[in-house]
Structure 1
Amino acid sequence: MASRLLARSMFSLPLKTRFALLSLVVSVVLVAVKFYAWLLTRSQAVLTDALESIINVVASGFALYSIYLASLPKDENHPYGHGKVEYLSVGFEGGLIWMAGVYIFYTALQSLLHPHAVARPDWGMGLLAFTALVNLGTGFLLVRAGRKHHSPTLVGDGQHLYLDAVSTLVSCAALLLVVFTGNVVYDSAAALILGVFIVVNGYRMVRRSVSGLMDEVDVATVQHVVAELQEHREPAWIDVHNLRVVRYGANLHIDCHITMPYYFSLEQTHTEVHRIEVLVDQEFEVQVEMFVHADPCNFAACSHCRMPECPVRQHPFSQEIPWTLANVVKNERHQLVEVMG
């Protein structure tokens, strides 16, 4: 009865929370398996792998908490929501991985200078191969779910499990070399290589976290928005510029300036702005918050304006300037540059 209630409560949780909880449970189980493998083998490479897996447990716990925070609705103190905490989670995880890598590198260097025998490597290889397969499967599920639901936390956690699986496979290879050669130096050398590998990947995760927190441009998303505006472009949308896309976890905040005929009424302008907002919102599965600032046109834009039967046109239409990533992100009306340049 209790197990049924637990299963029901699990499936009642949001999807991202379920995946984060899965990661935490798997990490706890596998770190226990790896330390048992180390007790059997006393291998430095296995110890390195087990120590790195402790980070999995801490990081998965923080990831679960960050996903809970990111799911909270907007409030007075967080008018854009709580999604940014997912980038903080990735940075926290990356920082832990980096520190673990430094420590692992140090202990591996000591072991290389003072090698010791490895016991029962066959058992160690079997247990580690099992954990590698579990980590690969769980990591694949997390990365796929994170990309589908635009969760940096799940993607980061899944990639960390990939990293853990690679570390485990290297440890297995080191034990295999020890078995066939009898030289325990391979064990310490593998741990040393893993230390460097872990440090580099920890740095990359921190770098990705800083990019998100600093609102670094997501080129692919901006190009997607520009392509949709260009494809469904209306004559009344004379120009778009100062386009900015900011990601708050899974959600997007988009704002831009749209030039429209200066003689439009407030109601007409509002209608066109609403059409733009609906167009962009329909293109993304996540929540989109869009703000469009309407600018009045001037006569310098006439030669690039396709507005039919315009009552105030001063110049005949000559050519339409395509909207591209290069010109829509600038804080300037690019028609004026073309006409006056």
Structure 2
Amino acid sequence: MNRYDFAVYIGRFQPFHDGHLACLTQALDHASKLIVLVGSINRPRNIRDPFSYAERREMIEAAIPLGLRDRVIISGVSDRLYNLPQWVTAVQAAVDGIVGAAAGGDASVILVGHRKDQTSDYLDLFPQWDLCPVEEISILSATQIRDALLGLPEADLAKTLGGQPIPNGVKTLLGDWIASHADAWRALRTEWDFIRRYRSQFEGLRYPPIFQTVDAVVIQAGHILLVERGAHPGRGLLALPGGFLNADERIEDAVIRELREETGIKVPEPVLRGSIRARARYDDPMRSLRGRTITDAFLFDLRPGPLPKIKGGSDARRAHWTSLAEFQSLEAQMFEDHFHIVQDLLGRI
């Protein structure tokens, strides 16, 4: 007889592999039912997050042995990069909602997982649930699987996919997905190759470089200024105006320069400087595919009035004003952590 009513297993599953399946089956040795919470459900498609929530949900369902499927409940949760309490609250709410609907309020819950690296620190955030560290089945890494699939010529894909430590049902889904999303898959492979070549410049260095960038959050009359990226990584995604700090400039000077270069905003420089209402540093170690990148973001709150004229330039295909109401629905189209930067900075005023 299982000791717990519910087990909770949290992961990104990009893609779902044999190690995930082993953890899932171990969890069901401890609990009658398992809640699988899929993370990062609103991320744009990129080489770290190539598959949508719906696609990953289908993978998990295809991997679960037939006799266990009615014991597994799958749900999702969005990232909250710079507001950990919000993410914890979202996880708690998802679990409480599922447990309440299935068993009422009186049910025992256990959190399962294994400590791999700093990404496993979330296991300490839920003291109301017992923690069961499951046995680490292997050193399987979803990153290595993604690299194997994205880094080889398409002609070798079927053979490579067949040799990966992935459940058979997931292999079938991946093969079908790649065949039916050829353009999206080629775009991912192009981005993967760009990142590989970009990072290869720094191989062999004793200390990998840490990059410094700047980003501008420009608000006026209930609108926010966004650009569409014209280059990898993130080509075609929406982003904040910004870029790399030059060696000979101050950070505030850099954000003014990048803002004017990428948007051509028709606002005098003294007015822009006088409109800065907040500034914060964002340093999530995984925030950029290019490598360790820290950004300083500035909130420019322009006085109410007609929206200034803009025109995309530099690395931006185009620039445009978007209502703050519409912006709230754009998380899946935003580059890197820019959606979360905006949410954090706006919360500061």
Regarding TM over 0.5, the answer is no
> TM-score scaled by structure 2?
0.26
Question: Larger Rg: 1 or 2?
Answer: 1
> TM-score scaled by structure 1?
0.26
Per residue, is there more strand in 1 or in 2?
Answer: 2
